[in-house]
Amino acid sequence: MMENVQKNNHYVLVVIDEVDNSQPIRSFAQIFNELKRHGFPIFVLMTGLPDLIMDVQNENKLTFLLRSEKEVMTPLQNSNMALAYERVFHCNMALAQKMTQMVKGYSYGFQLLGYLAFGEMEKENGQFSLEKLSSVTDIYKMRLFDNAYNKIFSDLSEMDQKYLIAVLGNKRLKEVAQQLDVTPSYASQYRRRTIARHLVRPGSYGHVQYILPFFNEFIRATQDPDSIYFYGLE
């Protein structure tokens, strides 16, 4: 098939959304690499969370992806999100800004909260209020945890997981290292790794902050034996 495509001066573009380090993705990447080595006109466009993209490109035999061109998407702008919520839900700016604060620039969170809010608005003949926002908040958090955070967290190494737990409570690097029972220089390796995965952002004096909305609550839940998200890490 690819020979016919090449003969007719055509191209093949494969688009993969929400890429992860699964066996089908790894198999496709190996086939894609083989086709490119033979000079066939095939291209691939992948989108996904930074940490999952890193897992794929660091996989043995798939490191050729490290040479591929990458475009890191910046968080959504608060002003644009607030205006969009105000326009779609016909609410006041105060409510739109509160919704925006619940998203923290996370594109999936923006879509998810809008979807849940729209469902509530339909129940009330086109009206959306602060009371309705409160009614979808718990569902919003659980969908974030189930559809995104659980996957992100489970795919990390155990030490990466422990680092994310250790920084809970806005601890300094020295305190994090003490909790992990490692040297500060060793802990700083995992600080860099989680920054590269866009899970935390660096702050002052060795502090870091979680980037994703309500991620602190998810991390706290992983340590709660009564939570459905309990991991039991020590």
pLDDT band at 50 (very low <50, low <70, confident <90, very high): confident
Name the strand (E) or helix (H) holding 43. Answer: strand 42-46
Q: How far, rounded to the nearest angstrom, does the alpha carbon of residue 100 sit from its chain's CA centroid?
A: 17
Amino acid 48: pLDDT:
78
Residue 64 has pLDDT above 90, yes or no: no
Q: What is the pLDDT of residues 153-177, one digit of tens each?
A: 998 999 999 999 999 999 999 999 9
Residue 124 has pLDDT above 70, yes or no: no
Amino acid 68: pLDDT:
78
Share of the chain above pLDDT 90, in %: 68
Average confidence (pLDDT) over 188-201: 94
Residue 21 has pLDDT above 80, yes or no: no
d(CA 165, CA 218): 10
DSSP lists the bridge partners of residue 42 as 12
Residue 60 has pLDDT above 70, yes or no: no
Average confidence (pLDDT) over 74-103: 96
Pairing of strands 200-202, 12-16: unpaired
Q: CB–CB of 151/199 below 8 Å? A: no
pTM (two decimals):
0.81
pLDDT band at 61 (very low <50, low <70, confident <90, very high): low
Q: Give DSSP secondary structure letters for 153-211.
A: HHTS-HHHHHHHHHTTTT--HHHHHHHHTS-HHHHHHHHHHHHHTTSEEE-GGG-EEE-
d(CA 202, CA 204): 7
